[in-house]
A and B are shown apart, each in its own frame.
Chain A
Amino acid sequence: MILQGRKVAKGNAVGKALVSTDGISFYGGVEPETGKVVEKGHPLEGQSVTGKILVFPAGKGSTVGSYTLYQMKKLGTAPAAIINREIETIVAVGAIISEIPCVDKIDIEKIKTGDRVRIDADSGSVEIIK
């Protein structure tokens, strides 16, 4: 199945999807050293986003989150790509400066955790390979 969205930050990636029904705050909500979600009560609490195709509705929280994503990229703990329903500036800027492929305007309910997903950010398309 191919889902068509919009390019936020360029690049391609293939990997396993990790889907969150809640927004993600990278600053304070994700530990950059380990890539683990640490926000209390978050649906992904305790799980690592590293190397995943990270799927969530939208970013939230402090604008410092852009730098957290950049830090994660440098530490090797960043997600392989990001798919949002609706992008906001924190994740957009974070993905652009960290060169993490990112697409939004995707019907994220179609993607399940564990799905193999190919993202081609330049054309804004997401393919669920299974």
Chain B
Amino acid sequence: MELTKEEKDMLAGKYGKAVKQSMEILVSLGEIFGAKRLIDVSSVQIAGVSYHNLGDAGLEYLADLAKDGKVRVLTTLNPAGMDLENWKALGISEDFAEKQVKVIDAFKKMGVITTCTCTPYFIGNVPHFGEHVAWSESSAVAYANSVMGLKTNREGGPSALASALTGKTPEFGLHLDENRQAQVIVNVKAEMKTVPDFGALGYAIGKRIGNKIPLIKGVKKASVEQLKSFCASVATYGGTALFHMEGITPDKTTVPKESIEITQKDVDGAKKDLNDTDEVDLVAIGCPHLSLKEVEEVAKMLEGKKVRKEMWICIARPIKKIADMMGYTKMIEDAGAKFACDTCMAVAPLKGRFRCLATDSAKACFYGRGKNSFKTRFATIPELIREATR
């Protein structure tokens, strides 16, 4: 790989230990994956924030980099293992909380904006079409590449952090236009109306095409919320980091020869797969984190009602602040639902605390089942609110 003078100096340690270590990761990756050079990135989203996932070793790793590492570009964080302010009410232990705060402090010391959300695109990490970025968080990566037209590989926590500390990423994979072309046409012959419809579509497509890049045809309209849900689902069940949706996503693509069809039966089958019949004891929405429009809708639906089950609203703290300002928070809390900012039902340590999770997110069903051994119910937000207030 060809490095500039500055990059060589970074690798040689002239910019400190954190930069040197980061450059070693990026150059190794570049060499393995055949990159010719490093390119500048304008934004980073870092995963690997929950203490539950990092453990003491991960915390040590971050604290070590924080000794002399400072981010060079706008960098935001994935959800943590708890609400950083309201963790007690959500049943998190003191010990866990103390470690989680240390993780966040290490990121803060490096200059990372510690917003802790899987939807950085809702809280101001919004590069423009065509920019190269280094994002982790599979749903945000799919959203960035597909909906926003950014260029990023599916980064892991350490490589995204390395990009933040150097402002660089090796140029391979989805940074190159030739690798961003659709590989299979997906003809959707099903009615797409609700957020779970899109989650089920992501499930059905993901299971059929794995990590291939699809050109999806036949979806006439899709809201930001529906696309967010689709991204999370298709990335979880398939591994796709980029899709093209005719008439909806902005990037251009060549048209592949191979094509498959997704029917109403496939979408209904996906919904059936995600629906167990058990009694629900946790209703949780906001995977990925709730949009402003969703929190407004939830507030209006909950106004004057009382929830009779544990209900969590998972959301980025800045969006919650707007909800505070608009009176939505009060409407939701008066109904007895709880906010879980900075975290969500997929990353918080919930195993053993609940038996059956009801959610509008196909991705949350996957992690609920796999990580927490929950049964799951999969429904629209109005249906979930009916379930919670029944």
Question: Which residues 1-36 of B sit at the A interface, judged by CB distance below 8 A?
Answer: 24-25, 28-29, 32-33
Q: Complex: how many Å from CA A107 to CA B301?
A: 59
**A70 — nearest CB in chain B belongs to which residue?**
B57
A63 engages B32 (CB within 8 Å): no
Which residues in A have their C-beta under 8 angstroms from that of B54?
67, 71
B47 engages A63 (CB within 8 Å): yes
Which residues in B have their C-beta under 8 angstroms from that of A6?
32
Q: Complex: how many Å from CA A90 to CA B371?
A: 19
Which residues in B have their C-beta under 8 angstroms from that of A129?
none
Q: Complex: how many Å from CA A93 to CA B156?
A: 8
Interface string of B44-80 (1 = CB under 8 A from A): 0001100001111110110000000000000000000
Question: Chain A: interface secondary structure?
Answer: helix
Tell whether A63 pairs with B138 under 8 Å between CB atoms, given A28-B370, A70-B61. yes
Which residues in B have their C-beta under 8 angstroms from that of A70?
57-58, 61, 158
Which residues in B have their C-beta under 8 angstroms from that of A8?
28, 32
Tell whether A63 pairs with B157 under 8 Å between CB atoms, given A27-B53, A92-B32, A96-B24. yes
A67 engages B155 (CB within 8 Å): no
Which residues in B have their C-beta under 8 angstroms from that of A96?
24-25, 28-29
Interface size class of A (residues with CB under 8 A): 20 to 34
Q: Complex: how many Å from CA A28 to CA B367?
A: 10
**Interface status of A2 (Cβ within 8 A of chain B):** no
Q: Complex: how many Å from CA A63 to CA B50?
A: 13
Which residues in A have their C-beta under 8 angstroms from that of B156?
63-66, 89-90, 93
Number of A-B pairs whose CB atoms are under 8 Å? 77
**Interface status of B119 (Cβ within 8 A of chain A):** no
**A66 — nearest CB in chain B belongs to which residue?**
B156
Q: Complex: how many Å from CA A87 to CA B34?
A: 12
Nearest Cβ in chain A — how far from B27, in angstroms? 10
**Interface status of B145 (Cβ within 8 A of chain A):** no
A64 engages B155 (CB within 8 Å): no
The residue that B53 contacts in the complex, of A64, A74, A89, with Cβ under 8 A, is A64
Interface size class of B (residues with CB under 8 A): 20 to 34
**B239 — nearest CB in chain A belongs to which residue?**
A60
**Interface status of B376 (Cβ within 8 A of chain A):** no
Question: Which residues 298-341 of B sit at the A interface, judged by CB distance below 8 A?
Answer: none
Nearest Cβ in chain A — how far from B34, in angstroms? 11
Q: Complex: how many Å from CA A27 to CA B138?
A: 14
Nearest Cβ in chain B — how far from A104, in angstroms? 8
Interface string of B141-158 (1 = CB under 8 A from A): 000000000000111111
Q: Complex: how many Å from CA A104 to CA B28?
A: 13
Q: Complex: how many Å from CA A6 to CA B159?
A: 20
B157 engages A89 (CB within 8 Å): no
Residue numbers of B with Cβ under 8 A of A are 24-25, 28-29, 32-33, 47-48, 53-58, 60-61, 136, 138, 153-159, 370-371
8 closest A-B pairs by beta carbon, nearest first, are A63-B156, A74-B57, A71-B57, A71-B55, A67-B58, A66-B156, A64-B53, A93-B158
Q: Jot down 26 A-B pairs with beta carbons below 8 A, ordered by A.
A: A8-B28, A8-B32, A28-B371, A63-B47, A63-B136, A63-B156, A64-B48, A64-B53, A64-B156, A64-B157, A67-B48, A67-B61, A70-B58, A71-B56, A71-B57, A74-B56, A74-B60, A87-B32, A89-B29, A89-B155, A89-B156, A93-B25, A93-B29, A93-B158, A93-B159, A97-B25
